[in-house]
Amino acid sequence: MNSPILIGKDLAIHKQQVLAQDIAKFNLNTPPHLVVMIVGNDPASQLYVKTKQKRCAAVGILSTQLTFNNDVPQETLLASIQKHNDDPSTHGILVQLPLPKHIDTQAVIEAIVPSKDVDGFHPFNLGRLAQNSPLLRPCTPYGIMQLLQHYAIPIQGQHAVVLGKSTIVGLPMSLELLAAKATISICHRHTHDIMQYTRQADILITATGQPQMIRADHIKKGTIVIDVGITRLENGSIVGDVHFDSVKNKAGGITPVPGGVGPMTVTALLQNTWQAYISQQSQLCPKNQTHYSDLDGQ
Ligand code: GUN
């Protein structure tokens, strides 16, 4: 039996088209504006930022990239964040991670005003998610939840195993799944015998960055496997945390890399930016008006 491939890329295209229509409907003089800050010249980060900006343009979101040298003082970065916090023509602020070692990432995350925190990493937004009352939701987990929903994958009562506990993916992913009434196991580098957990998973979300570490014997038959990892091997090929060819025939569903989770992450960022804009321009949204038709807030 071939497992269904969960094609994030196709769903992302559809969701972005819906979003573009929603934004166009308003015929806005001032479009939503996302400011993306990048420190240093890490090629992978530059590529991610370029992709985000390209997709912004395609749906009608203005984006500005601010590039800082690798040795930028933390105060300079914080001052720029503060400037955009105070600027009403900036609706979303994203600081691409990881940051150089001399910068306190948590201080940067907390410097962004929660209403413009389109990454959803600020303690306020993570706290809202933890209390099952989310506002701006971390993009990768939010994108994955939309993918699971699109493929009608049951979550309630399922055992979801999350590999990784980062603020970007593992932790908010666990909170999302918990809010959707799954039973959660979170594994990380100090977990003994990870396979003991992965073999119990109805849903396995892996965000370890260990290329192709998950093989067929890590899962039971029918597991839904969501691969957040992305690594470029020395031979130039791009792979995830999952050994796709051996796992795909045993899994009940599996995301490819590339073309699975990545495009859904970008989609969620665009949705968050629109949502941030809407809530900052509340006069555009009379009560009870449906302002964005495809944000189903599951
Ligand atoms: N680096 C890798 N993923 C992300 C993300 O979702 N947001 C930010 N800001 N940086 C990242």
Residue with CA at minimum distance from ligand 1 atom 1:
97
Query: Which tens digits make up the pLDDT trace of 204-239?
Result: 999 999 999 999 999 999 999 999 999 999 999 999
Phi-psi region of 132 (alpha: psi -120 to 50; beta: other; left: phi over 0): left
Here the CATH number for the domain that contains residue 86 is 3.40.50.10860
User: Does residue 34 fall inside a structural domain?
Assistant: yes
CA 269 / ligand 1 centre spacing (Å): 10
One domain, residues 71 and 145? no
- pTM for the predicted model, two decimal places: 0.94
**Contact call for residues 188 and 180 (beta carbons, < 8 A):** no
CA separation for the pair 198, 56 (Å, rounded): 36
Q: Which of 114, 131, 163 is the last residue of a domain?
A: 114
Condensed to tens digits (0 to 9), the pLDDT of residues 253-285 reads: 999 999 999 999 999 999 999 999 999 987 455
Tokens 């699109």 sit on residue: 150
Residues 216 and 108 in one domain: no
> 148 and 71 in one domain?
no
Give catalytic status of residue 96 as yes or no: yes
Same domain, 100 and 156: no
**Catalytic choice (15, 16, 116, 119):** 119
Domain boundaries, position 249 = 139-261
Residue 220 falls in the annotated catalytic set: no
Q: CB within 6 Å of ligand 1 — which residues?
A: 94-97, 119, 139-140, 168, 265
> Which atom of ligand 1 is found nearest the CA of 95?
9
119 classed as catalytic: yes
* Shared domain check, 148 and 106: no
- How many angstroms separate the alpha carbon of residue 108 from the centre of ligand 1? 13
Residue range 83-98, pLDDT digits in tens = 999 999 999 999 999 9
Inter-residue long-range contacts of 277-282, CB under 8 Å, 24+ positions, other chains counted: 277/32, 277/33, 277/91, 277/92, 279/115, 279/135, 280/88, 280/91, 280/115, 280/116
Structural domain total, the chain: 2
- Describe the strand order of the beta sheet including 62-68 as a list of residue ranges: 62-68, 33-39, 92-95
Instruction: Work out the pLDDT band at 286, boundaries 50, 70, 90.
Output: low
Catalytic residue among 15, 16, 22, 96: 96
Closest CA to 107 of 75, 68, 69, 66: 75
pLDDT above 70 for 74: yes
271 within a domain of the structure (yes/no):
no
CATH number, domain of 183, equals 3.40.50.720
Residue 36 main-chain phi, psi, to 5 deg: -110, 125
Residue 282 lies in a domain: no
| DSSP state letter for 98 | P
- 35, part of any domain: yes
